[in-house]
A and B are shown apart, each in its own frame.
Chain A
Amino acid sequence: MNLSYDTFDMKHMVRDLGEMSTKLIKGATNLAGIDKIDVGTAPKELVYAEDKLKLYHYKPEGKVTCRVPVLIVYAMVNRQYMLDLQPDRSIVRNLLQHGLDLYIIDWGYPTKADMYMTMDDYINGYLNNCVDFIRDASKKEKINIMGICQGGTFSGIYSALYPEKVKNLVTLVAPFDFSTNDGLLFRWSKHMNVDALVDTYRVIPGDLMNAGFLMMMPFNLNIRKYVEMLDVVEDRDKLLNFLRMEKWIFDSPGQTGECLRQFIKDCYQGNKLVKGELKVGDKVVDLKDITMPLLNIYASADHLVPPAATRPLNDLVGTADKTLYEFKGGHIGVFVGSKSQKELSPAISAWLHERDSDGQLKETAEVKDSRTMHANPEGKKPRKKTTE
């Protein structure tokens, strides 16, 4: 009978240890040689600013083939440069190369001076002002909006309130139906005393939010990730990419108290958006007023915004031209995964190009009530399928 220690391949383990030491030494050399972690490097110009908000206009890479500009509205929880995290995996660069005219909002880093900012201020104020600026600058009555995560929810709300200003709406991993308990954020938020939280902090620290995010996958996000860093530490480029992601994860602006209070109470706890009871400023939001074409993208393995929170949007909107796109991957993979670059960005571009004309779709007039697009491994044109 073997003793327990006989069942461990000790020779292999000692070799592992030796290799690890070598990697650590090489990694230390590489780390010492990196003095700047560059992110968001696609060339852009500041075109509008209001308080801490900044609106940037990306410089086109080649000919602009989609005439209607696209405004990217990112979440306020993290920084918008996730869409341009590294030059070879950049949704922004990818869309620019596909001929889109891109603008992006940088919400900035709120301080306690911004503690009274509400959803009304962000949506009816800042977002509306940015849209108006782009409409003026591009001389278009309507523009395209691409909202991501919380920014997608805000974009959906905005589109319902101002359908006359939005030509096409693209939502990426954006929650709308908050009744689900599939994701821990949704489950945990229901027992959160957000009044006590906001009254105490005024502006909720990004670190506090991050502690919650890290806790959702404690072993993978706090342990495995750093152990696996050893696998890339010898390669300067891979190490730099790892550090870029690390920078983004912990570059978390605080959340303005009043805005977060309403977002948690009315959406996560009250699910008012789906019920048609959400009020932003003096306006009641009815998702049926989303009458422009909709491309709703969800990630099948999203642990932050589960499909159960994103998919129902297509059943709630008033438009007949609505497309549901399933991305096979997780929340972060949507932005930086290789599949995202190969499949998702071209699909978004194609979908917007199809709807760039003033009238009907360019390629087909046969728009069904509901369609589903699936990520296509060959990178061909997205397959459309009528689901009803």
Chain B
Amino acid sequence: MENNNNFFDAWLKSQELIIEHLAESTKNFQRTFCGLGGNGGKNSGGVDFRDVYTSWTTAVLNALREMDSPDMRLLKETLSKALGGSNAYMKLYEIWLPLFKAIQAKTFSPEAYKDLSTQAKYKKMLDQVFGFDPDAIAEVSAQATRFIDTFACSAQQFMRPWVEASEKSLKTFPQFLKGHPESFMTIFHTMFNAFDGTVGRIFHVPQVGKDREKVELLLRSLDDLSVYLAISTEYQHMIYITGLAAFEKVIATLAEKIGGGEEIKGFDEFFDLWVDVGERTYQALFQTEDFSKMQGKLLEASVNARTRFFKLMELYLYDFPIALRSEMDDLYKTIYELKKKVNGLEKQLKGVSA
């Protein structure tokens, strides 16, 4: 339980950080693109669609430039290419825009075109159009980087128990491949604990809404099933390793006989040996307190899963024109009590008439 709480606490803290950074980033994006707020930059006054688009692509491209960790490189390249491609279309549009405007205003003339082709004027126009603000871009870039870092951290926090469990299991895997039976249980336990300590708790979360009861029952049924499977696996493991030990004993006994120059006369002799050794080995297991407890746990887990499933089925079948189990139970109870009353009365009558 303590581990569970640690996991959820850590996850919660990282989520809070994400939200905090996201809020800050959103605010800064807004300032940069729309000129809202106090630090809107040089072009905080009037902007059009192109300013917003250009600033955004620039900000993202800059942010991507700073994302230089090896695992982010692929993402960075992909996004850069995508944004670069759309920029090219944007620029083409911007170059031709004054001409279109002139055509629309019927002001197009060789003179006007000459003005546009003046390098100084063209640069001024470009600056106005693109509206670069190096400070704002730097800030947006830093925000984006922080946001991505925080998000990665949160995801890591969520995945941590699974990653650790997988690492531990991977270390055990070679033993499993070599045939060490206990290694399977180690792997199973590690992964189950990771499940139980993380998303497994979701099965106990109270639900809301019209179908609250059904959803809760469904989730808890799944949880019961997972608990049953875990105990069943442990139980089967006990049975399996005992069988393995029994067979090793059979082989050892055979080897001893053969070593002593004895001959195995026929199938019956081998069969008797196998059955006797197997029975003795299992008896030894069955007599242990551990096995008795495990069997008790298995039975309890299996009936708990059944009970919950039956309740769930009753909820789903409620609208059908059939008698449900709980309704039949009530009926049986009534009949049982009536019978007892009748029997008692009959005996009283018999006593009176005698």
Residues of A within 8 A of B (CB): 2, 4, 7-9, 12-13, 15-17, 51, 112-113, 115-117, 121, 125, 184, 187-188, 190-193, 196-197, 199-202, 215-220, 223-224, 227
Contact = CB atoms under 8 A, between A and B. Distances in A.
Interface of B: 257-258, 262-268, 271, 274-276, 278-279, 282, 286-287, 292-293, 295-297, 299-300, 303-304, 306-307, 310, 328-329, 332-333, 335-336, 339-340, 343
Contacts of A193: 296, 299-300, 303
A10 to B, nearest CB: 10
Given A16-B267, A219-B276, 14 more contacts: A2-B258, A7-B262, A7-B264, A12-B265, A12-B266, A51-B339, A112-B328, A116-B336, A117-B336, A188-B286, A192-B299, A193-B300, A196-B299, A224-B271
Contacts of B304: 196, 200
A219 B279 contact: yes
Contacts of A216: 286
Contact of A9 (B264, B296, B310): B264
Contacts of A12: 265-266
A188 B297 CA distance: 11
A165 B208 CA distance: 63
A9 B263 contact: yes
24 contacts: A7-B262, A7-B263, A7-B264, A9-B263, A9-B266, A12-B266, A51-B339, A113-B335, A187-B287, A187-B292, A188-B286, A188-B296, A191-B292, A191-B293, A193-B299, A199-B303, A200-B304, A216-B286, A219-B275, A219-B276, A219-B279, A219-B282, A220-B275, A223-B275
A8 B286 contact: no
B336 to A, nearest CB: 4
A201 B329 CA distance: 12
B305 to A, nearest CB: 9
Contacts of B265: 9, 12
A90 B24 CA distance: 91
B263 A113 contact: no
B303 A201 contact: yes
A216 B11 CA distance: 49
A199 B303 CA distance: 9
A224 B275 contact: yes
A258 to B, nearest CB: 9
Residue among A16, A193, A199 with most chain B CB within 10 A:
A193
B68 to A, nearest CB: 59
Nearest to B308: A200
B212 to A, nearest CB: 24
Contacts of B264: 7-9
Contacts of A188: 286, 292, 295-296
**What are the 6 A-B residue pairs with the smallest beta carbon separation, nearest first?**
A191-B296, A200-B303, A116-B336, A219-B279, A193-B300, A7-B258
A218 B282 contact: yes
A11 B262 CA distance: 16
Contacts of A220: 275, 279
Nearest to B281: A219
B267 A13 contact: yes
B268 A16 contact: yes
A17 B268 CA distance: 11
A116 B328 contact: no
Nearest to B333: A116
A184 B258 contact: no
Contacts of B343: 125
A196 B332 contact: no
A190 B292 contact: yes
A364 B278 CA distance: 51
A201 B299 CA distance: 12
